[in-house]
Structure 1
Amino acid sequence: MAPWHSRLQLQFSSEADRTVLRHRHEGGLRALASHYPEAPGICHQVLVHPPGGLVGGDILDIDLTVQAGAHALVTTPGAGRFYRSTGAPARQTLEARLAPGARLEWLPLETLAYDQCLGENRSRFHLEPGAELIAWDLLALGLPAADAAFRAGRFTQHVELPGIWLERGSIAGDDEVLLHASGGLRGHTALATLLFAAGSPLAAQRRDALLDTARQAADAAAVDEVLWGATAPHAQIIVLRALGQRIEPVAALCRAVWAAWRQAAWSIEACAPRVWAT
């Protein structure tokens, strides 16, 4: 079977105090109708990939622009899946550009890396001065509850803000040291990175307040099986990382911090996308 290559271009713009989406697609990846459960200026957008997952050689390319003054929240209706590959790797890429004064919440549901998959999930965010971003990357390795652990294959995560921050990790299913040693994942199969980033250096007082907000929200939401830590490795970014045995409590912790950051940074109450409840 020939691999699928899908492309999706998304452009959010502010028109008469309303964030409006214009988009083009090639292949199966689509944007559903925009929703405005909060206010006309905040566009909730759901992306769907009808095949439900990627196999060897499949490519999903997303090109996303948020213009000045626009605010977009982008999510998915279900987990992304990288299935077993017998040869070529599968890849999903996001290239996002935020203009001055733009806001983006990039909140797709978790990625599932199946045993023997060869996959890469790459996200790159370009922020102009005055732009701000909340984004996460949620990953579950294998299907432990179904006795289908991630024992072979490789999955690579790449999250980048050029010139500011880069996180890249490659996890091999047969890397016993990385997967099980105390200096690695310690047997955890769910991991997450959540970040708040700005196109300009954050004032020290605001950066410290957002870092404290993340720690307080994570501490209140955390359960014993989730390990987490929050840091500010650069003047323009705050990062929270979490490890767990299951993706559900890890995702719940990230949602709690997202909600707290929304209020603390933008004075906006959390409004979970409707698709998260289906």
Structure 2
Amino acid sequence: MSLNNQAAVKSEVLGWQASLNLSFAATSEKTLLVKRQHVGPLTVQRPFYPEGDGVCHVYILHPPGGIVGGDCLAISVDAKAHSHALITTPAAGKFYRSSGEQAMQIVEINVAENAAVEWLPQETIIYQGARLKSVVKVNLAATARFIGWEILSLGRPASNEGFDYGLADLHWQIYYQNKPIFLERLQLDAKAFAARWGLQGFSACGTLFATPASSESLVAVQSLIGDTKGRGVTRIDNVLVCRGLDNRTDTLRHFFEQVWAIVRPDMLQRNACAPRIWAT
């Protein structure tokens, strides 16, 4: 059963049931968004080309502005051979407090030969008391390239709200030629939020993935981190995994943007070009 079908199975649960299917194809001049099919409150703005030479920047919109218990959102991205898409969001995502129902978000990204996808949504705010499951599955062809991140803010520290109750069940699955190369499940609850082996009370956490990443990128990111606490990077085969903890989401995001600026030229032969929406 596909991830989108899994989302459809939950249609009996009260809440928004939304899906978005995107497909990108390369032409001699640029990457085009050749398919955009949506059901419910998920859509995209028109594509942008700020890099001037063919990379397709797309912003995913969720008009309700947040996800509550019982909502189920499914996003599918298909990047055909030689295409290059950068996908982000115009604002932070939000998972609100739940009275018991679980919210679900499922993302499936397929990257064909010599294609590239950059999955760079803005941060996700997980309110105290939220109950959610998030799955990101990436399927890579032999010569595909992928950079993606997930940046989370738990509770609302500016309002002196921590994460004393709630549950975030987070999955990342990366497959290379249909074989798993990175599988991770992270469960964040009040205990994990406070524990020394968990988030140690830090309200912001995040992970960046890049593949295929070189040893030179690893060394460059290690140099960027230096002795900074709450930062780490490793390379598992050719998958670079960078993690961070912080008291401020904006500081953590700035760090990941710096890492992206290191790995992008090495992997994609392009300097970092921040989507204009990030500056608004």
Of residues 121, 124, 127 in structure 2, which corresponds to 1:108? 121
Q: Is the 8 A contact 2:163 2:193 kept in 1?
A: no
Q: Residues 217 and 260 of structure 1 are in contact (CA less than 8 Å); yes or no, is this contact kept in structure 2? A: no
Which residue of 2 is the match for residue 277 of structure 1?
279
Deviations 1:122-148 (A, max 9, x none): 100000000000100101100011122
What displacement does 1:45 show?
A: 0.5
The question of 1:75 aligning with 2:88 is answered yes
1:48 counterpart = 2:61: yes
**Structure-1 separation of matches of 2:152 and 2:241:** 16
Structure 1: tracts of 5 or more residues without a match: none
Equivalent pair of 2:145/2:267 in contact (CA under 8 Å): no
Which among 187, 191, 195 is matched to residue 181 of structure 1? 195
Indicate the percent of aligned positions where both proteins have the same amino acid: 36
User: TM-score if structure 1 supplies the norm length?
Assistant: 0.91
Residue in 1 aligned with 2:165? 152
Quick check: 2:222–2:233 contact (8 Å CA) kept in 1? yes
> Deviations 1:99-137 (Å, cap 9, x if unpaired)?
010001000001111011101221000000000001001
**What is residue 104 of structure 2 aligned with on the other side?**
91
- Matching of residues 127-206 of structure 1 within 5 Å: 127-162=140-175, 163-173=180-190, 175=191, 178-198=192-212
2:232 matches 1:232: no
Q: CA deviation at 1:236?
A: 2.9
* Alpha-carbon distance between aligned partners in 1 of 2:170 and 2:263, rounded to the nearest angstrom: 24
Tell me which residue corresponds to 1:19: 31
Q: Please say if residues 218 and 257 of structure 1, whose CA atoms lie closer than 8 Å, have aligned partners that are also in contact.
A: no
Partner of residue 242, structure 1: 244
Partner of 1:58: 71
1:142-185: CA deviation from partner (whole Å, max 9, x where unpaired): 00111222111101111111310012111112x1xx22232222
Residue type of the alignment partner of 2:216:
A
**Which residue identity lines up with residue 231 of structure 1 in the other structure?**
T
Asked whether the equivalents of residues 19 and 40 of structure 1 are also in contact (C-alpha less than 8 Å), the reply is no
Residue ranges of structure 2 left out of the alignment (5+ in a row): 1-12
Q: Which residue of 2 aligns with 1:126?
A: 139
Q: Residue 254 of structure 1: which of 253, 256, 277 is its match?
A: 256
Indicate conservation of the 8 Å contact 1:159/1:166, yes or no: yes
Conservation of the 8 A alpha-carbon contact between 2:19 and 2:75: yes
Q: Which segment is superposed worse, 265-274 or 62-71?
A: 265-274
Secondary structure, in 3 states, of the residue corresponding to 1:164? strand
- How large is the RMSD of aligned CA atoms in angstroms? 1.5
Instruction: Compute the displacement of 1:215 (Å).
Output: 1.9
Instruction: State the shift of 1:6 in Å.
Output: 0.5
How far apart, in 2, do the equivalents of 1:25 and 1:4 lie? Answer: 13
Give, in angstroms, the shift of residue 264 of structure 1: 2.3
